[in-house]
Structure 1
Amino acid sequence: MKYEKMRGGKMEKINIFMVDDEAIILKGLETTYSWDKMGAVVVGTSRNPRKAVDEILEKQPDIVITDIRMKQMTGLDLIQEVNRRAEKKCLWIVISAYRDFEYAQRACELGAFTYLLKPIEDSKLEEAVLSAAKTIRQSRKSRKILRDYEHFIENNRKVFENYMVGKFSGDQIDEEELQEALARFGGKDWDAFSCRAVCLDFVRVLETKSRQAVTQEEIAGFLEQDLGEAYQYFYFQNESGYRTIILAAQGEEYLVIPVLEREMGRLRQKFSVDFRYGISGISRGIKGLKEVYVQAVENLEQVNGKKRDMAELEQIRSHARTYISQAISYVQEHLDDEFLSVGMAAREVHLNPVYFGRLFGQGMQRSFKQYLLEERIRLAKSLLKTTDDTITEICERVGIPNPSYFTQQFKKHVGCLPTEYRKEAYEKK
């Protein structure tokens, strides 16, 4: 029998509790097996299943080994009662001399890990305990990873929120995904909030001793200290290098331009930096976050002299189809790139990502992200019909390397699973 190796000579023990109303069998279970070598320790035994309920709830073992047929209470009733009352769930190994499928079936329905028949083979019991212990340790590890992740997210809440709003503003995630992200920390009624954005373009460092512009962290610290109590705010940098601050408040009086201009003056003075900025109008709700971002970028570019005159704008509109056509060709050539984004397509046609995203959406009547997913599904349908590639291989070729996510999106758009679609296509042939 192979026992799990201990890392660094240490491994957290698996606690086992045993219940059987036959004293000889119970004693044999406790003393016959090399529990220590299996990384386990027996924390308690009981010949009375009714009393065992309270003992199990108190000791909270990882595994309970119980007989099925007992006088005071059946093993099935024991499982049901403990599962009903316990905060911490345990794994159940059920043993019985009765070769009755209904007992095994019922035990499994109640969550039993495995079912063993008397007389118990030593190897079978050890195998069952080791398998249960492995499951428990993997579960502990997964829970620890989840706790660490939740702890990290909570401690970096503002960074996470800023990142997600930046993604939303750049058309990389949709409104539903942003709402789910912001809801992690307690959902707010965003329809009750008004928002305004300020987009900054740092020009130069005024203090000659310093050669580096103010960092993201320094500005974030300033915002937290100066604005954190009065506003909900988000701060991020876009692909053009612009820094954007989106301020949200439940009263529009907090978002008047003189107040924001005063804050920009404080920012200049505190870090001895020079920058140009564009301030948006006021909008509301989750959708408003993107609207004010786009307006602030456009107003900044007008301040920077990058705003095109009306003649040039008309020319751009007249050539919109050309830009979109070039972008579509680029998308078709790079569908297998899982990181393909609106920013990459915008660079290909030499347009600002925000402006290109709006241009593409107006011309195609769908966002770039929606179009990209539709094209990947279209290609997947073709590959399912014309090749014998596996689903995993098709996932790679269409730029969706996660088979589970691919299957989910395929069914959502096509109405059936990829395997069903392929089978139907072959049958039609």
Structure 2
Amino acid sequence: MTYKVLLIDDEPSALEGMLLWIDWRELGFEICGTCGNGQEGLRLIGELDPDLVITDVNMPLLNGLEMIGAWQQAGGREIKFVILSGYSEFEYAQTAIRYGINHYLLKPVFPEEATEELREIYQELEQEERGRRFKQMAASEETAAAIKGLLYEQPTEPADPEFLASLPADVCCWNVCLIQTAPQQYAEVRGKAAALIAVAPAMYLVDLEAGCCAIVFGSFAAGHESEAITGVADSLRQECPGQTLFIAAGTSVPALTGITNSYRTAKETLQHFFYRTSSAGLLMYHEIKNTPFSRQYDHIRMADELIGFINTLDLPGFRSAVDSAAHSFQEKLVAPEAVKKFVIHLIYRIRELTHHVTENGKRPELLNEFQLPEVHHYRLTLTGLMGYLLTSGEAGIELLLEDRGRRSHDIVRDINQYIQEHYRESLTIQKLAEIFYLHPVYLGQLLIKKNGIGFKELLHNLRIEEAARLLHEQKTKLSEVAEQVGYANYGQFLKQFEKKMKMSPNEYRNLKT
């Protein structure tokens, strides 16, 4: 099946790049439209009815997040959104969590990363489509749809009196138990859960998002609400050994029509598995209700520290920083989605640092350490998530170390040659570092070690030597000489000339004549 895509970005070059560099048809998509701001995007979403909208964050008239919020508030049909954001806009990606957005691409967009993300989104769309067809075919889905509507507090129509009348009359309260697993394990887990509750008088299975289902269950005795579901949870774990299972129940309500409150608290409870383990058993809302999550942590400092260890190839320091970050998250009980976005952001930054190595096919087996399929699809514990970060950082440092070893033999010769050819330009140590894929601090130390002088001194020497030649051979104005050898500021040229030649440019010219 082919899905329609709407692209929204106020940068024409970004739109053109996505149109040209990504093989949409091969991935199962077709572009139905493009535009440059959120206001126009909101109109096109209504007109074109896309399945997927990829939007930039910062745009005129209406930014990407405002556009998404307006669409959701208007009650439009459910659409998959992917946001585009740069490193400096990472907080926008965190904000997007509140809108239910689970996918984003880092700018600038690289075709390989976009293709990976789009393949995942296509699989999600396909799975959702199969789910929709399955529900249409199954007669029992009428009941599931009615209950699902009550869960979301958005029933497609008023609760059917016959359906409510068919419920056991002696149920004293209702609750929701959420079961979440990896998408590839979902069909098996769901089938076993359905079999376990097939003969239960007050248990109903409802499919939710990818990898997650709900058992809506009734209790026949006040004060014993957990007993009804504990047996199912224990049996399900026994029948699915070794599989990732997160099982959480909400707070009980007296009537099925109020089940949305149980669903909300069950989702909140499920989040707390992040700081536990997948084998922790059934988790009840009353166990976590007094431990809310926090979003207060210094993500910028933490990210800079971790990336700093990658840049300096300090593996022990990186490992220690990962452990420290994990302890900080645990201590502050930082919201799982915030930690998840933080880790994904860091792994993409590590991929950026090693892009020049991996694109040349060096150590292809290490590329697997940068893949994030499970992070995007199902709930991880803090230990598992930080494990992805640790292995990505270790692979990145290993790649960079190997690359440095390969390049070190002739690197200074190449750098010196480049400086000699480009000293008339606006040349900085940072620019050289980007060109030769070296950390600026390391590059500066390497030049001093090999040349005996630092980068700036070498640059000034070349410029002043050339200026002296021009002053000797030509009658060009001093300001023009300064500009020709690379100085945008005449005062800086004068200072450097006098420092090296022990006289002014004019005195030097007169001396030669």
Higher relative contact order (CA 8 A, sep 6+): 1
Is this a same-fold pair by TM over 0.5?
no
TM-score scaled by structure 2?
0.31
Q: Which has the higher strand share?
A: 1
TM-score scaled by structure 1?
0.37
